[in-house]
Structure 1
Amino acid sequence: MSSLARLLRRGEALLVRRHMQRAMSSHTDGEVRIVQRLKEKFPQATSLKVVDISGGCGAMYEIHIESDEFKGKRTVQQHQLVNQALKDEIQAMHGLRIFTAVPKQ
C-alpha cells in the first residue's frame, strides 16, 4: 500500500472518529445559546433543532424551526425573523442554514 493510500485511510478513520465523538457528545455552548435565544423569540415554536455543522467551533450552524409565528409569511420573511432574532450571534458566524415551517394542523 502506498504512503498516500495509508494517509487517506488514516484521514478517513479520523473523520469517522470525529463524527462519532460529535454524535455522542452533548450540545455545544453555541447550540445551547442559539436554542435559548430562539425559544425566547419564538415561544410558539413546536419544533426546534440547532446543529453546529462546523465541527464544534461555532462558525456555521443549521437551524430547523417550526412555529405558528411564521403563518402567512413567505419563506424569506420567516428567515428574516430568525436572522433578526440571532443578529448578535450571527456576527461571529461564517454561515447559517435556516429551515422554517408552519406546523401542520
Structure 2
Amino acid sequence: MFLRNFPKTTRLLRYFTSNLDAQTAGEIKMIRILRNRFPEASEIEVKDISGGCGSMFAIFIEDKVFEGKKTIAQHRLVNEALKYEIKELHGLRIVTTVPNKVVS
C-alpha cells in the first residue's frame, strides 16, 4: 500500500478518519482522470490524506511514459492532467516512477 511511504502520523490520521478500503469521491474522480491521461500506467493510487475533507491528496503513478524524464517533468504531466482539480486543493503529494524492468 502506498501509504507506507508517509509518516506514521499521516497514516494514523487516515486510519482514524475513514475506512482505508473505501475510496472518497475525490479519490475516485482523480483516479478516473489519471487513468484517462495515463492509460498504460501499471499502477495508479490516489489517497485523501487530508483527514477526509478532500483538500490534500497523495498520488502514486507507475508508467513507462515517465522513462527518461526528470522528476519535475514527470510531475508536470500529472499536474497538467489535474489542473482543474488542483485549483480546489490545499496540497498534493506526487510520486512517479517507471515500472521495473525484469532482467533475465
Structure 2 spans left out of the alignment, 5+ residues: 1-11
Q: Structure 1 runs of 4+ off > 4 angstroms? A: none
Higher helix share: 1
Secondary structure, counterpart of 1:23 in structure 2: coil
Q: Which has the larger radius of gyration?
A: 1
> Counterpart of 1:6?
none
Question: TM-score, normalising length from structure 1?
Answer: 0.79
TM-score by length of 2: 0.80
Give me the whole-angstrom Cα distance separating, in 2, the residues matched to 1:84 and 1:92. 14
What is the CA deviation profile of residues 2-40 of structure 1, one whole-angstrom value per residue up to 9, with x for unaligned ones? xxxxxxxxxxxxxx7972451355100000000000000
Equivalent residue for 2:74, pick from 69, 75, 78:
78
Given that 2:14 and 2:49 are in contact with CA atoms closer than 8 Å, whether structure 1 keeps it comes out as no
Q: Does 2:81 correspond to 1:49?
A: no
Aligned counterparts, 1:17-28, within 5 A: 19-20=15-16, 22-24=18-20, 26-28=22-24
Alignment size in residue pairs: 90
What CA RMSD, in Å, does the superposition of the two structures yield over aligned residues? 1.8
Taking every aligned residue pair, what percent have the same amino acid on both sides?
A: 47
Residue in 2 aligned with 1:95?
91
SS state at 2:28 partner: helix
